[in-house]
Amino acid sequence: MSDQEHPATTDLGAALTRLPRTMQPERDLWPTIAQRLAPRTVAPAKPRYEGWMVGLAAAALLTIGMGLGYLLRGETGSMAPGTVASGSGAREASGAGAMDLANASSASAPRGAAALAAYRAATAELRSDLALRGMYLPPQTRSVVQRELAVIEAAIAEVERAFAASPADPHLERMLLTRYRQQVDLLTRWLPVNAGGGEWSDRPLDQSTLGGEELTNEGA
Amino acid sequence: MKVPDRSQWVLKWLAAALLLLAASAPATARQTVRERVDAVADGQVDISNVSGSVVVRGWDRAEVLVTGTVGGDVETVEVEVRGTRIVVSIKMPDGKRGRVDVNADLEVSVPKGSSVDVSVVSASLEVDGVEGALDLGSVSGPVEVTGTPSRIEVDSVSGAVRVDARTDILRATSVSGLLALGGRASEVRAQSVSGRVELTTTGAERVEIETVSTAIEIDMDAAPDASIEASSHSGSVTLRLAEDASAEITASSFSGRIANALGPAAERPRHGPGSHLRFTLGEGEGRIDLESFSGSIRIERR
């Protein structure tokens, strides 16, 4: 039955649609964040950095990741990035069933603010040592990642502006959290602290000298 | 200034000689590779390459066979057995400095029950006939997957990813590369920044797609009670449904247009921005949620 058939409830229905439907996280975010902070095997070579630099960066990233994980572990449905609205993900992942909308609504705001603050801090930290970690990627790929980071940052700026005007809008809050998570994903997935883990990581190659590489954009 | 005839002739001769040298060098530098090792039926095979190509085929034999050619600075291909894990990697000369040309075209046949992990940079990657789990990573090389792997996880920066396989779980992420996901899967998750996502997978019970600036196109026969969620910031979201689709559908956008060819028009709240739509098709067995910030949302009949 459509909302159009109940004009009197249109606003309420729309508002309810935007609300998170559960109190439980749709999935535990920490394993994903931790996994993505872990070494990846794609980049085939290690630049030669001083050990303490890598160690310091690794410690910073892990601290950020653990902090994010701690903050997001108990978030509400509206916190859970990666979903449009609480659907089967919530039902499957939480296994706790849905809470009533009023509780969800009232509980989500402070946790949302904490999660946003954590993401903002995390992305700022990750951004600050981007130059160091970016050296693991071939130059052309690095520029692709930089360009796409700019796309996400522009999106974040757009949603931030809208959210500043409507800070109680859970729909915008969810979008903002999703964009920040995508930014963290990109910063940690493709710009890792240690690109080792595969056979290539043991090779004393300097990534910047892979002159034969032709890294072109094969995208749509 | 006019160049004397003799100098012109010498220059032409030198240019031709250089061209000949350049053309013949790669051909003479390539070596043939053929390495074979015994393998368990359901072991792990890890493969890495930089540029060139990797083709992985599942077969009925209990062995891993690596064939192909290597060129540039690549010495050879190493095939190492570590228990039930077999590692195929490129061997470079020790102490090599300066520009490194890493190029290998490899075909790797693996027991079809193997789980396969492949990492490439710009090399193209094809996987077919593997029934174990696939974990594939590419920086800019295109990736194609067919067959019946138990699970597919593929990451790409800018390489296009095309999947036409029957699997249980399909997870694909890209930064700017196309994600064209077809075949059949129970669960599909796709995430991209600016790489277009085209989903034609059938039979899915759960679908989650996210992009930032690029389009999402969903044209699929999902399971009757499927949960489909698609979200884009500024890219369009297009959903095409079959005549007999049965789902509760919601769509919302902050500033994008929502066009619904299957039911009521989207509504705008009296206060604040945004458009919202909620309606039911058929018995409403499935659940579909579409969302954008500024991208348009279209719901159409297939």
Q: Does A168 touch chain B (CB under 8 A)?
A: no
Which residues contact residue B118 at a Cβ distance below 8 angstroms, ignoring those fewer than 6 apart? Answer: B46, B47, B48, B49, B54, B56, B125, B127, B134, B135, B136, B137
For the ranges A108-122, A176-190, B2-16, B200-214, the lowest mean pLDDT is seen at B2-16
What local confidence, expressed as pLDDT, does residue A192 receive? 56
Neighbours of B63 (CB within 10 A): 13
Q: What confidence tens digit (pLDDT) does each residue in B108-126 have?
A: 999 999 999 999 989 999 9
Which residue, among B191, B284, B279, has the nearest Cα to B232 in the 3D structure? B191
What local confidence, expressed as pLDDT, does residue B295 receive? 96
Domains of chain B: total: 1
Phi-psi map region of A123: left, alpha, beta (phi>0 left; psi -120 to 50 alpha): alpha
Mean pLDDT of chain B: 89
User: To the nearest whole angstrom, how far is the Cα of A198 from the nearest Cα of chain B?
Assistant: 8
Question: What tens-digit pLDDT sequence spans chain A (220 residues)?
Answer: 333 334 433 444 454 444 444 444 444 544 544 444 444 433 333 333 444 444 545 555 555 555 555 444 434 333 233 322 222 232 222 222 222 222 333 334 446 788 888 888 888 888 777 777 666 677 888 888 889 999 999 999 999 999 999 888 888 898 999 999 888 888 887 665 433 333 333 232 333 333 334 333 333 3
| Partner residue opposite A151 with nearest CB, options B140, B194, B272 | B194
Residue B58 has pLDDT above 80, yes or no: yes
What local confidence, expressed as pLDDT, does residue A24 receive? 44
Q: Is residue B100 part of a domain?
A: no
For the ranges A197-206, B2-11, B86-95, the lowest mean pLDDT is seen at A197-206
Residue range(s) defining the domain that contains residue B265: 160-302
Q: Which of residues 70-99 of A touch B (CB under 8 A)?
A: 82-85, 87-89, 92
Answer yes or no: do B119 and A41 touch at CB < 8 A: yes
- Longest CA span, chain B: 87
What local confidence, expressed as pLDDT, does residue A117 receive? 86
Q: Are strands B51-59 and B124-128 parallel, antiparallel or unpaired?
A: parallel
CA atoms of B280 and B275, how far apart (whole Å):
17
Q: What confidence tens digit (pLDDT) does each residue in B124-175 have?
A: 999 999 999 999 999 999 999 999 999 999 999 999 999 999 999 999 999 9
Please give the residue of chain B at the shortest CA–CA distance from A178. B210
Q: Is residue B282 part of a domain?
A: yes
- Which residues in B201-229 are b (16+ Cβ under 10 Å) and which e? beebbbbbbbbbbbbbbbbbbbbeebbbb
Mean pLDDT of B83-87: 95
Q: Which of residues 129-158 of A touch B (CB under 8 A)?
A: 137-138, 140-141, 144-145, 147-148, 151-152, 155, 158
What local confidence, expressed as pLDDT, does residue A2 receive? 38
Rg of chain B (C-alpha set): 25
What local confidence, expressed as pLDDT, does residue A13 receive? 44
Domain layout of chain A by residue ranges: 24-204
Say if residues A47 and A206 touch (Cβ distance below 8 Å). yes
